[in-house]
A and B are shown apart, each in its own frame.
Chain A
Amino acid sequence: MSATGTATAAISDTLIDEIRGVVGAEGLITDPAATRVYECDGFVLARKSPQLVVLPASREEVAATLRLLWQAEVPFVPRGAGTGLSGGCLPLQAPVMVGTSRLRRIREVDVANRRAVVEAGVVNLHVTRAVAEHGLLYAPDPSSQGACTVGGNVAENSGGPHTLKYGVTTNHVLGIELVLPDGRVVELGGVVDDVPGYDLRGFAIGGEGTVGLVTAATLRLVPVPAAVRTMMAVFGSVDDACRAVSAIIAAGVIPAALELMDRLIVQAVEDAYGFGFPTGAGAVLIVELDGLADGVAEQVEAVEALCRESSADEVRVARDEAERAALWKSRKKAFGAVGRLAPNYCTQDGVVPRGSVPEILRRISAVAERQRLRIANVFHAGDGNIHPIILFDERDEDEVRRVLDAGREILEACVDLGGSVTGEHGIGVEKIEQMPLIFSPTDLRVMAELRAVFDPLSRCNPGKILPTPGACVELGAPRRQVPL
C-alpha cells in the first residue's frame, strides 16, 4: 500500500461555494499544499491527499455540510487529530475530509452527576484538565491523549494504560450526538445508561467514522482515586516480567495499569528522557495501583513481593507525584522515543489471552529474526494487548515489504492463540485483510448490512473496516457516478 497520489475525482465549484456559504472561508481548505497536511494519519504506509478539507464550527454547520455532500453524492471522511494508527482517516474513496478541529467546546460539566458534554474536537486530555478542579477525571487515556480528540476516541473505541481497571471508551460514553451521512442529527444513548431500544450508541462507538460524524459526546467522569501508587519493576528478561504479570492477576489484584517495556524500548526511553532505568534491563514493568489508601498499601506490598518472586532485580515505588509523572511520561512518550531508533515505525495492536503473552512475545522475536527486522515492545501487558513496534526506513522498499509481512504474521499468531487483530487501534485500511481471520463471511456481511442502516450508500468513510469483494469495482468504477 504505497503512496497513491491525490484523489482523482474532482468536486464542482458550485459545491465548494455552497460549502463555503456554510462554514465560511476560514472553514475551508482547497490549496493542495495545505491539503497535503491531511494525506495520512499515524499510519504512514498509505498516503493520499483529500481535494477539499472542511472544518465546520458547529453541529449545524456539520449537518448542513453533510447535507450538501449527500445531495451532490460526494463521499467524505471524518477526521479528528489524525493520530489514528490504522489509516482510518485516509481519504481512500472519498475526496472530501470533514475535520472536527473547530468543534472545540466543552458544552457542559455536570459535577453533581459526574458527566460532561463535549464536542468531538475537544482533545482527550483537555477533558480531564477541565474537570480536575472538581476532583474528577475522564478515565480512557490513550498514550496520545495530549493530541487525540474525543471524536476520534469514540470512533476507535480507544483504550489506554488505565483500561485494565477502568474499561475502554465505550464504558465511559453515555450518549453521542451523531450527524448521519444524509445530514440528519440523532442522539444515541443519553445522559443515563438505561435508554430503551437497541444500544445504537454501543454500535456506533468503534464504528471508525463509517456511520456518521460524531459532533459531541456525553462522557462519564470518575472521581480521582483517593490513593495512587506507581511502581517500576526491573527484570532480566521479558519472560520474568510476564511471569510477574500472571502472578499479579492470579493473586486477585487488578492494577489500574500494568504496562511492559522491553529492552529496546527501555534503552530508547532512557536515552530520550533519562528517567533512570538501569541500562541493560531486559524488561521493565510499570504497575499502578489505585483505590482507597489502606487497600492500596496492602496491594503495593503484595505486588512488590510477587515481582521479586518472579526474579525482579529492582522494584521501586515512585516517591512523589513528580516521580510518578516522570515514569508515566517515559511510558506514554515511548513511541516518540522510538524516533531515535529508526526513521519510521509501524505498530501492531493484536490481543492475546493474558496467559499467552509470553508465547506471543516469543513468536514476535521469531518473526523479527526471520524478516530481518528490529521489533520493540511496549504494551498493555495486563490486558494482553501487544504493541510490537516494527522499525524501518521507508526509503528501503524491500524492508517496507518485510514490515508488512511481519505485521501480518504477528496478527496471524494472535488469532492462532485465540485473540484478536486489534485491541484499540482499529481496522482502518491497515487490517482489512485480517478481518476474515476472525470473522466468517456471514459475520462480515452482517457488519456491512448494519453499517448500511446508518449509511446506505457508503458515503461516510468508504473502504474501511470491511473487505469488499467488489473493492476494485468500487475503487476503479464506482457503482454510483460521483459528479465531478
Chain B
Amino acid sequence: MTAAGSAEPQLGGVKTVASDAQGPLGASGVTPSATAVVESADDVVEVVRAAGAAGAALVATGCGARMSVGWPPARCDYALSTRRLDRVLEHRAEDLTVTVEAGVTLDELDRALAERGQCLPFDPAEPDRTTIGGLIAADACGPLRHSTGKVRDSLLGLDVVMGSGERLRAGGKVVKNVAGYDIGKLLVGSVGTLGVVVSATFKTRPRPQRETILAWPQATVAAAIEAAFELDRAGVGAAFLEAVPAARSEALGIDGAAALVVGLQGFAADVSAQSRRLEELSRGQAKEVASAAQLVATALRDCAVLEPERDSLRSRVALPPSELAGWVDRAVGEAGTRGLAIEVCAHAAIGVARIQVAPAEGAATGLLAEWMRSSARALGGWVIHESVPAALRRDLDPWGQSGVVVELMRGVKRVFDPEGVLSPGRFVGGI
C-alpha cells in the first residue's frame, strides 16, 4: 500500500503520515501503521477503496477525543484523519441550517455561526477537540441535551463514504424531510463502523438573548438530582440542570459537597423571571454564580471527562428520570463497599448520569461495571461504558446489547461495509 521507496508514503494516492502511539488513536489502544490525511470527499473515497482493496482495516478519527468509545478495534492498519476537511460549507442563517465538513471542531463552527447570531444546540465536552465527525460517530452530548435533545434531533443530512467506498447521501438540507428511509439516524453513534462522514447539515438556533447560571448547594449528587427533578416538574424552564460533585462545585466556586447547577437561557424577560422563581423555590439557596456564564458552562461540559488521561472507567447511564437519584445513591454505596472512589455528574432531570470510577487494582471495577449494567437494565435503562481501563478492555462489554436487534444491526453493517473495512470490532456484538 505504502508506495515503496518513495519519499511520500501514500494510501490510494493520498499522502499519509506516520502514526505515533500517543496520537489520536492512542485512547483506543491500537496503533495504525500510518494515517492518511484527507482533504476532500474524493480523497476519502480513494483511501477507503484502497484500504478495502488491500484487505486492510481503517479507523477514521478527528482529534481523537472519543477514540476510547467501544471495543478496541480488532484490527487497525491505517487511520484516516478528517482534520483537513475543515470548511463550513454553507450557513443559511435565514433557514437556521448549516452544512459543515466533518473535520471542523465545535469551537470552530461556533465561531462561524456566531457571526450571524446563531449556534448549534450541542455542548459536549472538549469542544476544541470534538469534530463534527466525532460528534456524530460518538453521539456526544452535554448538559444542553436537557432542553435541545441529542444529535439525532438536529441532524438533517449527511454526505458519507461507506465502507464499500461508495458515496452516500442521506437526508437533505431542509428542516423537514421524509423522502425515503432516514439513513442518517443509523450513522449517529455508529463509532465509525458504517461510513466516514464527509459533511453534515444541522439545524441551528438563534443565540439566546440572555443567559445566566445559578448554583444550588446540595448535600450529595443524589440530592441534587432529586432537586432538579422537582424543579423540572414545577415547570422551571431551564436550558440545563446539572448535578455536580464536590470536586466540580469547588472548581465552579460553589461551596458544598455537591451542587445543582441551573442554566437559564432565552428572552431577557424569561431569564429574569425564572431566576427569581428559582430563588424562591430554593428558599434563597440558589444563587447566580459570579463567574461568566460561558466559563461555567465550559467547565460543566467537561465534567464528563475529568482527568481524562487517567485510566479510569467512564460510563454513561440512562434511566427513567424518576429512578436516577435512587440509583445514584445505590451506586455510591456499591462503590464504597468495593473500596472504589466514584464521581457522578448528571443531566439531572432527564435521567442521564456520567460515572467515573478512579483507577484501582483487582476485580472490583469490573464487578461494579457489571452491577451498574444489571441494575440499570432492571429499571428499563442502559449503561454504555464509554472508556474502559486497559486491564478490562478485552472482557468488559462496553455496550451490553444482544438478541435479534444485534442480528439486524449486523445486517446494517453488511450493507454499508460488506468487507468490514471500517473500525472492525468496535461496536455492539463485535460489529
Q: Which of B17-25, B148-156, B297-305, B329-337 contacts A (4 or more CB under 8 A)?
A: B148-156
Residue tally, chain B, CB below 8 Å to A: 76
- CB-CB under 8 A for A352 and B178, given A110-B320, A171-B149: no
Q: Which of A193, A298, A353, A449 has the most CB of B within 10 A?
A: A193
Which residue among A187, A419, A425 has the maximum number of chain B CB atoms within 10 Å of its CB? A419
- A353–B97 touching, CB < 8 Å: yes
What does the 1/0 interface line of A219-250 toward B look like (CB < 8 Å)?
00001001000000000000000000010011
On chain A, the residues within 8 Å of B316 by CB distance are 194
Interface membership of chain A positions 188-204, coded 1 if the CB is closer than 8 angstroms to chain B and 0 otherwise: 10111111111111110
Q: Given A163-B176, A206-B178, list of 9 further CB < 8 A pairs? A: A170-B152, A191-B381, A199-B189, A203-B183, A246-B94, A351-B177, A354-B94, A384-B175, A427-B180
* Neighbour of A450 across the interface among B166, B169, B183, CB < 8 A: B183
Contact A295 B269 (CB under 8 A): yes
Contact with B along A108-130 (1 / 0, CB 8 A): 00101101000000000000000
25 contacts between A and B (CB under 8 A): A112-B233, A157-B182, A197-B401, A199-B189, A200-B408, A201-B185, A202-B185, A203-B412, A250-B93, A250-B94, A252-B117, A292-B266, A294-B267, A294-B270, A354-B175, A380-B176, A384-B95, A420-B176, A420-B177, A423-B174, A427-B179, A446-B416, A447-B183, A450-B412, A450-B415
Separation of A438 and B171 alpha carbons in the complex (Å): 9
| Cα A156 to Cα B181 with chains together (Å) | 10
- Decide if A355 is an interface residue (CB 8 Å cutoff): yes
Write out the residue numbers on chain A whose beta carbons fall within 8 Å of the beta carbon of B117.
Answer: 252
Name the distance in Å between A406's Cβ and chain B's nearest Cβ.
19
With A and B bound together, what is the CA distance between A100 and B40 in angstroms?
48
The reply to whether B408 and A426 form a contact with Cβ atoms under 8 Å apart is no
Chain B residue nearest to A157 (CB atoms) is B178
Using A199-B189, A252-B206, A294-B269 as known contacts, say yes or no to A443 and B382 having CB atoms under 8 A apart: no
In whole angstroms, what is the CA distance A293 to B267 when docked? 11
Residue A404, interface by CB 8 Å? no
Task: Establish whether residues B174 and A384, one from each chain, have CB atoms under 8 Å apart when the complex forms.
Answer: yes
**A113 and B322: CB pair below 8 A?**
yes
Chain B residues within 8 Å of A, Cβ to Cβ:
92-97, 117, 149-150, 152-153, 162, 166-170, 172-183, 185-186, 188-190, 194, 205-207, 209, 233, 235, 237, 266-270, 272-274, 316, 318-322, 351-352, 380-382, 384, 399-401, 404-406, 408-409, 411-412, 415-416, 427-428
Which residues from A are CB-within-8-Å of B182?
A: 157, 170, 202-203, 205-206
Report whether A203 and B176 are in contact in the complex, using a CB–CB cutoff of 8 Å.
no
Cβ of A440 within 8 Å of any chain B Cβ, yes or no, is yes
Q: Which of B150, B174, B382 has the most CB of A within 10 A?
A: B174
Chain A residues closer than 8 Å to B209, beta-carbon distance: 252
Beta-carbon nearest neighbor of B429 in chain A:
A197
Q: Would B176 and A424 count as touching, CB distance under 8 A?
A: yes
Report how far A444 CA is from B179 CA in the complex, Å: 11
Closest to A294 in B: B269
List B contacts of A48 (CB < 8 A).
none
Q: A1 on the interface (CB 8 Å rule)? A: no
CB distance from A319 to the nearest CB of B (A): 22
Provide the bound-state CA to CA distance between A126 and B371, in Å: 40
Say whether A197 contacts B406, CB under 8 Å: yes
A418 to B400, CA, bound (A): 41
Q: Is the CB of A291 within 8 A of B150?
A: no
Say yes or no for A297: interface residue by CB 8 A criterion: yes
Contact A353 B408 (CB under 8 A): no
Q: Does A51 count as interface, using CB distance less than 8 angstroms? A: no
Question: 7 nearest interchain CB pairs?
Answer: A202-B185, A252-B206, A453-B411, A295-B270, A194-B318, A294-B269, A295-B267
Minimal Cβ-Cβ distance residue in A for B155:
A202
B176 contact from A113, A351, A450, Cβ within 8 A = A351
| A223 and B189 contact, CB distance less than 8 A | no
Nearest Cβ in chain A — how far from B302, in angstroms? 20
